[in-house]
Amino acid sequence: MFKPLQSVCIAVLLFPLLAGCASTQVQRMDVGEVKDISGRWNDTDSRLVAEEMIKDCLSRPWLATATSKKGGMPTVIVGTVRNQSSEHIATDTFIEDLQRELLNSGKVEFVASKGERGDVRDERLDQDTNASEETRKEHGQEAGADFMLSGIISTITDQEGGKSVVLYQTNLKLLNMKSNVIAWNGSKKIKKFVQRAKAGW
């Protein structure tokens, strides 16, 4: 008796959802294009901060000193970058950006991360059993890092009503692995003004 009425109610409820799905539009963008939607930390921030901080790092006196002492390019590894901000930040992506800038600079050698080294060590164990003597890679021949880069990302937010100013501060330190001496200390700040529209009916 009530089935026709129930069907009409269900149809009325589902129609806006279906209409919303039908109106979804996707536009491809150039990966280098800057477009802030939420105002939060994004891929552009990650890339630009990595580029600027590594450029600054490699322009400082520690590099010439380390190169001279070693008689060649120093070896660097990126350690932990901690997110101490008020929002989710994909630090893994930022670490990859830092690694890429260091490696592509041609001024330092780069050591694989802890996870990547684990994969390589597993492969060497497999080679011990399955590879020929001529092609097998021996254990204990890895290059140790001379310096480790690590740091934090933090935020300071000033908010009133629908307006907010967010300061992102990235601090990185380069530590000498042998002496624990800080070879370089860098900081990069990004400030964003975000104004959210009032909800309407």
Q: Quick check: 101 pLDDT over 50?
A: yes
Of 13-17, 76-80, 102-106, 125-129, least confident by mean pLDDT is: 13-17
* pLDDT (mean) for 35-58: 87
Q: Does residue 6 have a pLDDT over 70?
A: no
- Return the domain boundaries, the chain: 38-125+145-194
**Residue pointed to by tokens 């991360």:** 113
Checking if the pLDDT of 179 tops 80, the result is yes
- Cβ atoms of 112 and 122 closer than 8 Å: no
Place of tokens 């020929």: 132
Q: What percent of the chain has pLDDT over 90?
A: 49
- Hey, what amino acid is at 178? K
Helix spans in 24-167 (H) = 43-57, 61-70, 91-105, 114-130
- Report whether 188 contacts 170 (CB < 8 A): yes
Q: Average the pLDDT over 58-81 and give the result.
A: 95
- Bridge-based pairing state of the strands 163-176 and 182-195: antiparallel
Average pLDDT over residues 107-119: 81
129 pLDDT more than 90: no
Alpha-carbon distance values, 21 to 10, 11, 76, 159, 195 (Å): 17, 15, 48, 34, 27
Q: How confident is the model at residue 96 (pLDDT cuts 50, 70, 90)?
A: very high
CB 200 within 8 A of CB 76: no
3-state secondary structure 2-50: CHHHHHHHHHHHHHHHHHHHHCCCCCCCCCCCCCCCCCCCCHHHHHHHH
Closest CA to 81 of 148, 17, 19: 148
Whether the predicted pLDDT of 66 surpasses 70: yes
Look at domain 38-125+145-194 and name its CATH class. alpha beta
